[in-house]
Structure formats: C-alpha cells, structure tokens
C-alpha cells in the first residue's frame, strides 16, 4: 500500500493540467489519486498505462510549496493550495513532475548492419605430382618424350639400334652444351623436367584486412535484472584478393640420361634439332632408353598467381548480453557458420633455374575457378552504446574457423585457409 498522505490540488489546478496534456491523463483523476493516498486503492489499482511513484503520489514539482492536506480534505469539492503549477513544455515533464512513470516498453528484437574487416586468411600455391612437360614413363625405348630442355622421339627406323646401343633415335633435340657428357665409346646426354616443390613462392600468404558487410538479427529469449539471453542470425559477404608474385622457389628435378655410345651430337651444332627422317648432312643417333633420377634445384619465379575470391557467410548462435551501464551493454556469443565461397585463379610464371651448368627459363600459365560450401564455427565479443531509446552503435571482435577451400587445375593447386581468421566490425543497431 502507498502512504496515506497526498498533495492536494484545487479543481482549477487539475483542470489546467488536464487541458495541457489532453487525453493521456484522463484515466487518472483527482479522486483516484486521493483514494490511493487514503489507502483505499493500491498503486497497482490506479488506472494503467500509468503507475504512481509510491514515494510521491501526485504532483511534486511546483513553483512554490503546496499545502499537504489532511484526509478530511477529501470531502471538500475545492481544496485551496498555495503556489501555482509549473508550466511544462512536454508531456513527459508533466508525467515526471507528477511522480507518474510510464512503463518501459519491452523490445525483444534488434537488427544491426555494419562494415567488417577480416584478416589472417591464408592462401598458398602448390603443385600436383605431375611435372611441367610430358616426360612420359621411366621405361620404354619407343616412347615420345618432351622435356624442358629438349625432346626424344621415335624416328623413321623405329629406333633401330646397334650392338653397342640396342635402341637409338636420330629424332631428338637439346638446347645446351652442358647437357652433353661425351666419352670415347660411351657418354651420356641429359634431359630435364621440373615441378614446383616449395620455397617462398609456395609459402602461405596472409591476407591484409579484407573488406565486407554484414547484417544481423537478434531476438531475446529470456532476461534477468542485468542479463539478456538471445539468439542471433547473421549474414555477410567478404572479399579476398591475393597476389603471389616474384619470389624464390624450390623445384624437384627429373633427369633422364640417354647413352651416346661414343657419339658427340655437339658436333652438329648447339642447340640441335633432329627430325623423323635422317638429314642429308648426317644425323647423330643417341640411345632412346632413359635412366631416370630425381634431384632438387632452387630458382626464381617472375610473375606468379592472382587469386580473387569472395565468401557469403551465414551464422547462427546464442548470445548473452550484460547491461554494464544504462547506455552500454556487452555481449558474448558463439555458434555455427555456413559459408559459400568462390575463387578465380590465374597464374603466369616465368621460372628460371640452373640445370647442367646453364640457366634454364620456361613459362607456366593457366587459369581456373571453383566454388564450394563449408562449415565452421565462430566466437565474438561485442560492445553496444545506446544513442537513443532505439538506436545504437556497436563494435565487435570475432574469431572465425572454416574448413579449408582447396582447388586445382591439374597443374597448380591453391588452398584458402580460414582456420584462424579474425574479424572486426562496426555498425549501427535498431531495437523494436
């Protein structure tokens, strides 16, 4: 029950207040206020949507003091009071002056939109087990084989050999004197193929701050004095670009050695290119059965790869919001993510390395694209500051983990690693 005393108003004062505030106060009458003061009505029984502040009861802010009347004044039709009612500019001021509090509207939903920056996404370039050229199998004497520094093909004699070298061909070519190792009655000539095997060019490249945009919707499920428990749904788009260019690289080197059988093909000029039929001026013949070995070499890549990709990321998860102050709330959240990603890859590599004592330069180029859907999870911390009853601004830090996105064209491979991405967001919120 409320206190059994009240601030008495004359009928003129009451009518003056009512005329200025039109219909919002018409459900509160002097009688209802007095009955509450006298104890015949509880605060809960005073007509809604307004309640009376139990410590005050009626008008508390006047220009001068207003006489406190005793309970017997309730029988009078017109109670005299000293002072005048203070003119208010707004209805809310009159409500405050009367000690009447309008209930806070229970807004359970919030939407937000903002810009995002995502970093710590990694991209790496690799190679499949195939080599650059078509060097063919390790065995076989009548197989056409291509190398980065020459070729060995079937000739018009079907690679007919002799007693010293059972299978020979005059349909071959080479580019460097360093490939040839002549010896009396013996000797070898080497041909090479390579594939990318690491180095700085193949090391993971971290993204900078990739731009994006996100919207989210949260709905409150439960609340306590300071905590609100919510479920939030978010949808955003993120853009990622990588340039991996002009770096050292490691290569795996395939070497096929063929017997010369005492022949020195450099006599016919360097570089040399044979043909299917023998030349009228003479054609040297080398063995056509390779002896294959593998090694390693270092080199450089001029140019390189460009990766353009984007991700549409949806997320869903619970959150707990804490009212730190009247205007500031702090939110912790986490949950599942589902992302659709697309990537376009182009590469144009001028590879240079040292083989057989000479510098070998060759080009590798291609383009491919791929899309996919990937699962993951997220965790985030957000601070929201209320600018008004409905509008606010927020800042957020987020951790994102998604499955790796792997794509290839059969020669080059690309991996986009979202295993430990970090996001930062700023935006606005609206409660309703």
Average the pLDDT over 96-112 and give the result: 69
CA distances (Å), 350 to each of 27, 127, 249, in order? 86, 15, 11
Indicate the range of 5-14, 31-40, 281-290, 326-335 predicted with least confidence. Answer: 31-40
Gap between the Cα atoms of 139 and 142, Å rounded: 9
Q: 82-91, 98-107, 322-331, 343-352: which has the minimum mean pLDDT?
A: 82-91
State the Cα–Cα distance between residues 377 and 334, nearest whole angstrom.
7
Does residue 129 carry a pLDDT above 90? no
Q: For residues 77 and 24, is the Cβ–Cβ distance under 8 A?
A: no
- Mean model confidence pLDDT for the chain: 81
Report the candidate in 40, 37, 46 with the shortest Cα–Cα distance to residue 101.
Answer: 46
Q: What is the pLDDT of residue 271?
A: 94
Angle in degrees, CA 384, 386, 387, rounded to 5: 130
pLDDT of residue 399: 98
What was the pLDDT predicted at 19? 54
| 122-127 vs 205-206, strand pairing mode | antiparallel
Write down the pLDDT at residue 12. Answer: 58
Residue 213 has pLDDT above 60, yes or no: yes
pLDDT of residue 69: 37
Using alpha carbons, select from 254, 259, 284, 257 the residue that is nearest to residue 272: 284
Q: Is 183 exposed, middle or buried (0-12, 13-18, 19+ CB in 10 A)?
A: exposed
- Between β-strands 405-408 and 412-417, what pairing exists: parallel, antiparallel or unpaired? antiparallel
What pLDDT score does 18 carry? 53
The pLDDT value given to residue 420: 93
Render the burial of 342-364: b for 16+ CB within 10 Å, e for the rest. ebebebbbebebebbeeebeeeb
What's the confidence (pLDDT) of residue 103? 52
Residue 66: its pLDDT value, please?
35
pLDDT at 46 > cutoff 60: no
**Residue 50 binned pLDDT confidence (cut-offs 50, 70, 90):** very low
Rounded to a whole number of angstroms, the distance between the first and last alpha carbons of the chain is: 34
Whether the per-residue pLDDT at 88 is higher than 80: the answer is: no
pLDDT of the residue at 134 = 87
Over its C-alpha atoms, the chain yields an Rg (Å, rounded) of: 43
CA distance 153 to 142: 8
Task: Give the pLDDT confidence score for residue 27 in this predicted structure.
Answer: 43
CATH 1.10.3210.10 fits 109-128+202-249+301-431, yes or no: no
Out of 184-193, 194-203, 324-333, least confident range: 194-203
CA–CA dist 374, 378 (Å, integer): 13
Tens digit of each residue's pLDDT (9 = 90 or more) over 147-174 = 989 999 999 999 999 888 999 999 999 9
Q: 407 or 30, which is more confident?
A: 407
Whole-number pLDDT of residue 72: 41
Q: Which residues contact 285 (CB under 8 A, 6 or more apart)?
A: 155, 168, 169, 170, 263
The two tokens of residue 185 are 């009655």
Handedness of CA 272, 274, 280, 282 (dihedral sign): positive
Higher pLDDT, 281 or 357: 281
Mean pLDDT, residues 386-399: 97
Mean pLDDT calculated for residue range 237-260: 94
pLDDT at 56 over 50: no
Q: Minimal CA–CA distance to 423: which of 231, 243, 235, 211?
A: 211
Q: Which residues pair with 249 in a beta bridge?
A: 299
The DSSP code for 62 is B
What pairs with residue 267 in β-bridges? none
- Which one-letter DSSP state was computed for residue 261? T
State pTM to two decimals.
0.68
Asked if the model's pLDDT at residue 329 lies above 60, the reply is: yes
Report the alpha-carbon distance of residue 393 to residue 386 in Å, rounded.
Answer: 7
Percent with pLDDT over 70 in the chain? 75
Per-domain boundaries in the chain? 6-101, 109-128+202-249+301-431, 145-197+250-296
User: Is the confidence at residue 348, as pLDDT, over 80?
Assistant: yes
Model confidence at 276: pLDDT above 90: yes
pLDDT for 104: 56
* pLDDT surpasses 60 at 86: no
pLDDT, position 128: 80
Q: Does residue 170 or residue 15 have the better pLDDT? A: 170
């Amino acid at each position: 029950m409320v206190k059994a005393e009240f601030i008495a108003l004359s009928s003129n004062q009451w009518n003056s207040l009512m005329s200025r505030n039109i219909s919002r106060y018409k459900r509160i009458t002097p009688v209802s206020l007095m009955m509450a003061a006298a104890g015949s009505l509880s605060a809960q029984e005073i007509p809604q949507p307004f309640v009376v502040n139990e410590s005050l009861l009626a008008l508390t802010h006047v220009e001068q003091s207003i006489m406190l009347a005793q309970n017997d004044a309730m029988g009078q039709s017109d109670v005299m009071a000293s002072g005048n009612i203070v003119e208010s500019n707004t209805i809310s001021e009159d409500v405050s002056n009367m000690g009447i509090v309008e209930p806070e509207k229970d807004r359970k939903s919030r939407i937000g939109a903002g810009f995002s920056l995502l970093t710590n996404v990694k991209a790496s370039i690799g190679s499949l087990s195939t080599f650059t050229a078509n060097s063919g199998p390790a065995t076989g004497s009548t197989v056409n084989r291509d190398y980065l520094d020459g070729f060995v093909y079937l000739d018009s004699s079907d690679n007919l050999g002799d007693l010293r070298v059972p299978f020979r061909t005059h349909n071959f070519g080479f580019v460097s004197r360093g490939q040839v190792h002549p010896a009396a009655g013996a000797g070898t000539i080497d041909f090479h193929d390579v594939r990318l095997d690491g180095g700085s060019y193949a090391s993971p490249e971290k993204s900078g701050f990739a731009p994006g945009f996100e919207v989210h919707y949260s709905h409150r499920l439960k609340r306590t004095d300071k905590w609100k428990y919510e479920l939030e749904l978010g949808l955003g788009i993120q853009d990622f670009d990588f340039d991996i260019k002009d770096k050292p690289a490691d290569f795996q080197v395939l070497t096929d050695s063929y017997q010369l059988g005492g022949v020195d093909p450099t006599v016919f000029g360097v570089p040399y290119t044979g043909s299917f039929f023998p030349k009228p001026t003479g054609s040297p013949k080398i063995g056509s059965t390779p002896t294959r070995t593998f090694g390693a070499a270092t080199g450089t890549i001029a140019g390189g790869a460009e990766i353009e990709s984007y991700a549409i990321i949806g997320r869903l998860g619970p959150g707990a919001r804490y009212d730190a102050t009247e205007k500031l709330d702090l939110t912790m959240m986490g949950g599942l993510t589902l992302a659709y990603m697309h990537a376009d890859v182009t590469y144009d590599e001028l590879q240079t390395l040292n083989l057989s004592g000479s510098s070998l330069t060759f080009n590798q180029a291609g383009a491919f694209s791929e899309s996919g859907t990937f699962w993951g999870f997220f965790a985030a911390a957000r601070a929201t500051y209320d600018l008004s009853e409905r509008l606010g601004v927020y800042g957020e830090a987020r951790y994102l983990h998604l499955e790796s996105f792997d794509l290839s064209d059969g020669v080059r491979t690309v991996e986009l690693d979202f295993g430990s991405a970090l996001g930062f967001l700023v935006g606005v919120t609206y409660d309703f």
